[in-house]
Amino acid sequence: MSRTIRPAVALTAGLAALLLAGCTAPDGGTEGFAGALPAKNVKSTPPPNGPYVALGDSYTAGLKIAPQVGEPKGCSRSGVNYPSLVAKGLGLPAGQFQDVSCSGARTGDLTGAQETDHGTNPPQLDALTSATRLVTVGIGGNDAGFMEVVKECAKENLVDAVKGIVGATRASSPCRDHYASGGTDEVQRKVDAAGEQLGRILQDIKHRSPQARVYVIGYPTLLPADPASCRSVLGKAVAAGDLGFLSEKEQQLNSMLKRRAAGAGAVFVDAAAPSAGHDMCAGEATRWVEPPFPAPGLAAIHPNAKGQEAVAAVVLKAVRG
């Protein structure tokens, strides 16, 4: 499908505005399609029959993907998000499956109530009991501030684009320069802090549901390995160097999730490797993640229905082991 390319400045401004929706971040990875890295103390046992509890943010909830179901409405849960598809694939009856994920969630919202624009989501961990046998956790991107990083990159590129208009020399990677200006990697610091929070959450899950098998779900790939392939979607609004910078930050986030899962005796499920080539810069028929200007009714920089189906397939493969 043909796509109208907006002027660089307008597109970057639009990117900055569209990235304000609550979500999480994403990342690349190097594991194979199976995507699951079982911890050493996870025994090979038959797939759990439930109860199954799904925890997470908007990448789990399925922001704006129809049909939107459940309460509160502000969590924007989809009836065809990956937890729902996993429950269906395992043949779990409704009473054996509870999805408490919520768009905009941070790790603190797993132990405390989360206020949304349309209602309050109770602490997500309250859904866990000693009877719970399966838990999936998709969280961390909001704690790491990944979307704020993307928004900041859009702003830095907008400022740099204006420099180009007035004839000043443009930077090759203005966002990377911004985050390196203090001499430390501020993004890595936030990712590490998110990891500390996640480590405590995983221990809390183990305490509440000691018999549960726990799976930490990684984020899908947002950007292609070759930044040049994004030109048809982003034009020259974002420097190629900054697309590489964002990819690096995604990889740092997923690497942290992998380490924390292993440290807690959980299983990390890699969503990045299978989504390579299905990033937001792929064609409309191919992509699993929507670009800054998404298809009508869908959320920018978030998985679409195909993306949720793909993650469900990887999770099911991991659970069935």
Tell me the catalytic residues. 58, 302
Adjacent-strand bridge partners of 97? 52
- For residues 253 and 190, the answer to whether their CB atoms sit within 8 Å is no
- Spatial distance between the Cα atoms of 316 and 321, rounded to a whole number of angstroms: 8
- Spatial distance between the Cα atoms of 160 and 149, rounded to a whole number of angstroms: 16
Tokens 């009991």, located at residue: 129
- Spatial distance between the Cα atoms of 84 and 300, rounded to a whole number of angstroms: 22
Phi, psi of 54 (to 5 degrees): -105, 125
- Spatial distance between the Cα atoms of 36 and 217, rounded to a whole number of angstroms: 9
- Quick one: the chain helix, strand, coil %, rounded to 5? 45, 10, 45
Neighbours of 129 (CB within 10 A): 12
At 138, is the secondary structure helix, strand, or coil? strand
At 52, is the secondary structure helix, strand, or coil? strand
- Dihedral angle computed from the Cα positions of residues 155, 223, 319 and 257, in that order, rounded to the nearest 10 degrees: -50
- Spatial distance between the Cα atoms of 15 and 293, rounded to a whole number of angstroms: 8
